[in-house]
Structures are given as C-alpha cells and as structure tokens.
Amino acid sequence: MQLTFSNSGTKAGVVFALLATLVLSPLPVYAQQDDDTAAEEASSTETPKPEGDTSENGRPEIPAFAAKDQADPNWSMPGKTSALTRFSELDQITPENAKDLQVAFTFSLGVNRGQEAVPLVVDGTLYVVTSYPNHLYALDLTKPGAPLKWSYTPQQPLAAQGVACCDVVNRGPTFSDGKVFFNTLNATTVALDAETGKELWRTPLGKIEMGETMTMAPQIAGDKIIVGNSGGEMGVHGWVAALDKETGKLLWKAYNTGPDTDVKIGEKFKPFYDRYKGKDLGVSSWPEGMWKHGGGSGWGWVSYDAELNIVYHGVSNPGPWNASMRPGDNLWTAGIFARDANTGEALWYYQLSPHDWNDYDAVNENMLLDMTWKGKKRKVLVHPDRNGYMYIIDRVNGELLSAEPYAHITTSKGVDLKTGEIKWARDGEPEIGEVVKDLCPAAPGAKDWQPSAYSPKTGLLYLPHNNLCMDHKEVSVGYIAGTPYVGADVWMKPGPGGNRGEFSAWDLAKGKEVWSIKERFPAWSGAVVTAGDVVFYGTMDRWFKAVDARNGKELWKFKTDSGIISQPTTWKGPDGKQYVAVLSGVGGWSGAIVAGNLDPRDGTSALGFVNAMRDLPDYTTAGGTLYAFTLPDNE
C-alpha cells in the first residue's frame, strides 16, 4: 500500500507525491498541491475548508429529509439515510483513539462465498444476511457476546446459484417499522418480523429459468419498498418494482427497456435533454426486438427523496456485451431514472453510457445532496459512474452539472456539459475477432457497486474504487433463455501504477481528488465516515482500516480471516458505546477466483476478472465472519 497526500505540507510529502506521480501514476491529480492549511498533524481537529478557484460552489449538505436518519445512533438501512450518505454523527471513535480499537465480538456466517452485505443495527439487535442460501441472522446486542436471537433461511432452489453472474452475493437487508426486508437469490422479496424472525410475506418477482436473480438491497420509500432484478449478463428484461411494505403486494413494476407503457414513460416524463423525447425509444433504439432480452436490470442502489417523493435508480448494462450486435443507443440501459414513488412513472432520465460497449452499468449509488452550484442552490445527485466520471446532476430536472474524471480513462475523452453526451474514444465497431487492447476502465468500471460515503464536515466523498483496464474481444452469441448472453472474451489487468484498487477522497465542490490510498486489489468494500472524522473500509487482502477523514492518514488496521468486500457500518450499542461492524468473506465478481475456486490458467474466467486476480489466492482464502469493534472500556 502506498499513501499519497496531495495536501501534505512536509517536504517528504511533496517529494513522495511527486515521485508517486512520476513513477506510479499517469494521473496528474497526485501532484496537486493547492494549500498547506490541511497539512496539520493527524491530531488536529481542524477541518480543511474548500477554497480556491471554484468559490462559487459551496460545500454540499445532507438534505433535510435525511436529518432524522443521519442523527439516529442506529444504522437501520444500507445507506444510513435514504439519500445514501453513509455518514454517522457518532464521534466516540476519533483519529486520536482509533488505534485502540478492539474486537468486541465475532460471528461465523456459515457460508464461504462473497459477503457483500451490510450489517444493520436497530435498538439492540444486529441483522445480517449472508450470500446464498441467504441466511438472515439476528444477534442480541443486549447480552454478553451478542448471542443469536433468531435466524431464518428462505426456501429456494439450489439451481439459483447457476444463474448469478458474479458470485451468489447479497447486498443486505433493510429495516422499517419493526420489519426486516431482503431479497433472495431466486428473485423473491421477503419480509420478516424483526422481533421474532417470523415470515410476514414473500413475493416472488422473477424467474431463475429466465436468468433473473436478486442481489440488491431494498430501499424503503414511505409505505413502499423498492427492489430490482439482476441478470444483465443473462439477457433478462430488466425492471424496478415497488411493493407494499405491509402486504408485499406488487404496486408497480417499471421495465427498463421496451415500449413506453412498459417503461412507465408518459405525460410526467420531462427529460432535460431532447434526445430522450420521442415515442417508444426503448424499442426503436435497438435492432428489431432485441430490447426483449437487452438486460437493463435494476440490481444497484436506489435512493429516495422523501420531500420530492422521487425514487432514483440506475439501469444496468445492455445485453449482450457484444455491442456490434445492437446498433443504437439501447435505451434505457446504462442510465439513471427519476420516478414518481407512488406510481413508478418516469420523471426524467439521463444516459451515462449510450450504446455501452464496456459493461458500464449505471447502477452505482445516486447520493442525494444539496449544494450551491455556480452561485445557485441546487438539489443534486452525485453519481461516481463505472465509466470513470463523477457526475453531479440536478435531481429535480435531470440536468448535468459536472462530470469530472476520477480515474484513468481511455474509452472516452470527456463529457460535453452542454449536450450531456459522453465523447467515446473510438470510431465504429471492432472487426470480428479483433482484440481491442487497453480499454480503461475495465468492465467492472472505475468503480463498481461498492458504495461511497460523504462527510458534511469535510465536504469530501470517500470513494473505494478500481484501477483496472482490459483487452476485449467480441464473439458471436445467440440468446438462449437462462444462459449467459455476453458474447465477449475479456482479459482484465491492473491499470497504470499497478495498484488494482484505490481509496480516495474527492472534493465535490472543487471537482478533484484530495488524497488517495493505493490498494493492491480493487477496493471492493463500501465506505463509512463519522462525525469523529474517521473513515472505515476493508480490503481484499484482509485489512479492515480506519483512516483520518481529513488527510487519509492510516490510524488503525486489523487483519480479518478473509478478504473484505462488504459494507461497514457504525452504531451505538445498548451499552452506549460506538461500534463498527464489517463482514469478511472474499468473493463477488472480483474475488470469484477464490470463492468459486476458478482456474487461473484461463484469464477469461469470471468474465475476465481472473486475469487480473491470479495472485488473490496468495492473500486470502474464502470465509465469512461478522466482526464488531469498539474502544476499550476505559476510553
């Protein structure tokens, strides 16, 4: 691991940053040396203030509708708030005492596949869901050692495992009104009584025979729960749906490709850009009928603006990956929808990767923040996309405000802020059998699903991400329901500098990176930031880390039993102490080589990820353990 400070005031820091720029990275961002004020010792409690060239942009604030959840000492939903901010007001753990963190308790999840879920805590009970077979465990935090309170395992066919594109993961439950909600791999949403674990309802929503699974964490939107399917690699007909929280009844289901009626595009649809206006574009932007198995699934994060009553969700890549087979923009894939939470009707749409040719799903988190942009108050949506740009979009009207590169990009040459269009760096489709080399970012993107966190104290977005490029060859593919619809051989490799991952802090007002920690493997865990100015994240080589939110200085780390690809959370226990919890258990797409015991001699394994991860088995074995940490009693 190497750490670079762009704002370090020490001579060594400057030299190191310059060295890093010259030797390790083609990105100029490490050399930015704009102020000395933030170069305090780690013990300083002063917060760097955004200053300099873009004074018109204010530090983003967490919207008022999220204030109550933000202040909650519990962690009751995956994103902490429905704005997906992942900021907790707890401040017992600080840069000064983080070094004393200790294990409080552990719990074996009993499943050795990738654990991407989020441990939730509500009033003395911890809820955690495992990868397939999706056990849900409730632990009693009021008793010593946090014993098991109840557990629940859904009935589902073994065969569901075969159609999960990227390990049999689950990204967590969510909690509301005394109920725990989660999705099971066989595309079913389940609600349990949080006190007893009794099943209240279960609603099957998709068919594994058609390649549909569900891995995403549901989002509560008032009296509804919003879910979506996975299967962008299986040629599914992607959708997002709302269920009644009380009964599980399907209230609306909006498809992400096809005729306007299926997509719920009607009178309310007012996209900012004209190219999204027209009848049935979800049909006409595809070759004859291909939208029917064109992917566009809804497996990512959903956010909810309770004041506007709008749901925001991304849409996955189009299928097949072979882009030559589907001339056109392939709407409404690889974009973001704003929908009326009551009816599912589309309000606006913005496409991040038209005619996607690199598997750039647009399903990463849409974080909802309020900020002054060029002197004007705006309700915005922040979206670090797989295509490598940090998008800031007006979430009321869908207007693109900013799209700055946060990673190494060769597939495009920027985004035109006037038209909102990405400038792809290629002309036409590749020849048959041609291996197109060095496409960056690779298929999992500059950043995949691993969610970022935002601190209103520092104005920084904490961004776990990837540094991967790929070689890509299109191969022919025919659609056979329930089998992969990919049509590409991919070989991924480390990006410039050789570090495959990175954990960085991004100044949203200035649109640039402030500090960055290089990681050996893709930084595939989520991030958490606290009012104590401590950021937590985990690595695939088994470190769980606490770093200083202001300058990225490492404060503490702990070696877990298996690599970390889950979402850490922080909460106040019944004893009044602040805890941090995380799941170990390597796997997911990036860790498939270990979780699925794949053969490293074939670089195209796991859709090409194995080519970049051949050495992962030297650093971690499979596992699955919940860890909770806290400070010693005397602190």
Q: How many CB atoms lie within 10 A of CB 632?
A: 10
Cα–Cα distances in angstroms (integers) from residue 231 to residues 10, 196, 208, 482, in the given order: 50, 33, 9, 9
Smallest CA-to-CA distance from 114 within 198, 53, 185, 66 is with: 185
- 3-state SS track over 283-327: HHCCCCCHHHHCECCCCCCEEEECCCCEEEEECCCECCCCHHHCC
Residue 460 binding other proteins, by CB under 8 A: no
State how far the Cα of 371 lies from the Cα of 383, in Å rounded to an integer: 15
| Size of residue set near ligand HEC by CB under 6 A | 3
State how far the Cα of 45 lies from the Cα of 95, in Å rounded to an integer: 9
Q: Which does 325 bind (CB under 5 to 8 A by kind): ligand HEC, other proteins, none?
A: other proteins
Residue 604 binding ligand HEC, by CB under 6 A: no
Task: Give the DSSP H or E segment for 26.
Answer: none
Site string for other proteins, 207-236 (x = CB under 8 A): --------------------------x---
Residue 162 binding ligand HEC, by CB under 6 A: yes
Among 172, 298, 300, 484, binds other proteins (CB under 8 A): 484
Residue 478 binding other proteins, by CB under 8 A: yes
Residue number, 44 or 324, with CB nearest to other proteins: 324
Rg, C-alpha atoms of the chain: 22
Residue 486 binding other proteins, by CB under 8 A: yes
- CA triple 553-557-563, angle to 5 deg: 120
Among 22, 71, 435, 475, binds other proteins (CB under 8 A): 475
Residue 157 binding ligand HEC, by CB under 6 A: no
Site string for other proteins, 131-170 (x = CB under 8 A): ---------------------------xxxxxxxx-----
Among 32, 54, 97, 483, binds other proteins (CB under 8 A): 483
Residue number, 91 or 602, with CB nearest to other proteins: 602
State how far the Cα of 393 lies from the Cα of 402, in Å rounded to an integer: 7
Q: Which amino acid is at 228?
A: G
φ/ψ of 512, rounded to 5, equals -155, 160
Q: Which of residues 22-51 bind other proteins (CB under 8 A)?
A: none
DSSP codes of every residue in 194-211: TTT--EEEEEE---GGGT
Residue number, 163 or 240, with CB nearest to ligand HEC: 163
| Size of residue set near other proteins by CB under 8 A | 46
Cβ 463 vs Cβ 506: under 8 Å: yes
Candidates 116, 356, 359, 474; catalytic one = 359
φ/ψ of 99, rounded to 5, equals -65, -20
CA atoms within 13 A on the CB side of 354: 19
Cα–Cα distances in angstroms (integers) from residue 462 to residues 87, 248, 369, 425, in the given order: 10, 35, 14, 28
Smallest CA-to-CA distance from 388 within 419, 418, 425 is with: 425
φ/ψ of 325, rounded to 5, equals -75, -15
Task: Give the DSSP H or E segment for 556.
Answer: strand 554-559
Q: Which stretch binds other proteins (CB under 8 A): 12-20, 28-36, 123-131, 323-331?
A: 323-331
Smallest CA-to-CA distance from 527 within 547, 500, 513, 507 is with: 547
Candidates 134, 256, 317, 387; catalytic one = 317
Q: Which of residues 559-598 bind other proteins (CB under 8 A)?
A: 592, 596-598
Q: Which of residues 242-301 bind other proteins (CB under 8 A)?
A: 287
Residue 163 binding ligand HEC, by CB under 6 A: yes
Candidates 69, 233, 471, 502; catalytic one = 233
Q: How far is the CB of 169 from ligand HEC (least distance, A)?
A: 15
Residue number, 340 or 489, with CB nearest to other proteins: 489
Length of the chain as a residue count: 635
Q: Which stretch binds other proteins (CB under 8 A): 57-65, 275-283, 321-329, 378-386?
A: 321-329
Tell how many helices (H) and how many strands (E) occur in the chain: 5, 39
Q: Which does 210 bind (CB under 5 to 8 A by kind): ligand HEC, other proteins, none?
A: none
Among 32, 44, 483, 621, binds ligand HEC (CB under 6 A): 483
233: annotated active-site residue: yes
State how far the Cα of 306 lies from the Cα of 261, in Å rounded to an integer: 25
φ/ψ of 316, rounded to 5, equals -70, 180
Residue number, 157 or 287, with CB nearest to ligand HEC: 157
Q: How far is the CB of 604 from ligand HEC (least distance, A)?
A: 15
DSSP codes of every residue in 398-461: --EEEEEE-S---SEEEE-TTT--EEES--SPPPTT-EEEEESS-TT-SS-S---EEETTTTEE
Residue number, 163 or 446, with CB nearest to ligand HEC: 163
- CA triple 508-509-515, angle to 5 deg: 50
Q: Which does 108 bind (CB under 5 to 8 A by kind): other proteins, ligand HEC, none?
A: none
Residue number, 12 or 158, with CB nearest to other proteins: 158
Residue 331 binding other proteins, by CB under 8 A: no
Among 150, 272, 424, 479, binds other proteins (CB under 8 A): 479
Any idea of the CA torsion for 517, 518, 521, 527, to the nearest 10 degrees?
20
Smallest CA-to-CA distance from 369 within 335, 402, 341, 347 is with: 402
Q: Which stretch binds other proteins (CB under 8 A): 293-301, 317-325, 361-369, 563-571?
A: 317-325
Residue number, 19 or 481, with CB nearest to ligand HEC: 481
317: annotated active-site residue: yes
Site string for ligand HEC, 287-306 (x = CB under 6 A): --------------------
Residue number, 111 or 352, with CB nearest to ligand HEC: 111
Residue number, 66 or 168, with CB nearest to other proteins: 168
Q: How far is the CB of 479 from other proteins (least distance, A)?
A: 7
Residues that bind other proteins (CB under 8 A): 158-165, 233, 287, 322, 324-325, 327, 428-429, 432, 474-487, 489, 592, 596-607, 610
Q: Which residues bind ligand HEC (CB under 6 A)?
A: 162-163, 483
Residues noted as catalytic: 233, 317, 359
